Amino acid sequence: MSAFVTYVIRLPEAQDAKRAVTTGVRELVESHGGEITGMSNEDEMTVLDLIERHEDIRGHIVDEARVQAKSLCSEITN
């Protein structure tokens, strides 16, 4: 499995500053042999938090997902 990492960056308000951050990240990744494989402009972290708190979600689903995510993370970092 390839190593993936997810960063959440709160972009500055000013358009020129946003452009500088996104350009800088792309240049940094590409200059070190990496690639950006996905990008989103939505707030998945908030959506996931709301799903986890929804009354219809079964607790074991969240628990199992956390165990699987921890396992994936340990594979990447070891």
pLDDT 10s digits, 26-74: 999 999 999 988 887 777 777 888 888 899 998 899 899 889 888 887 7
| Predicted TM-score of the model (pTM) | 0.52
Nearest to 51 by CA among 62, 39, 60: 62
Q: Residue 15 above 90 pLDDT?
A: yes
- Name residues whose C-beta falls within 8 Å of residue 10's C-beta, 6 or more positions apart in sequence: none
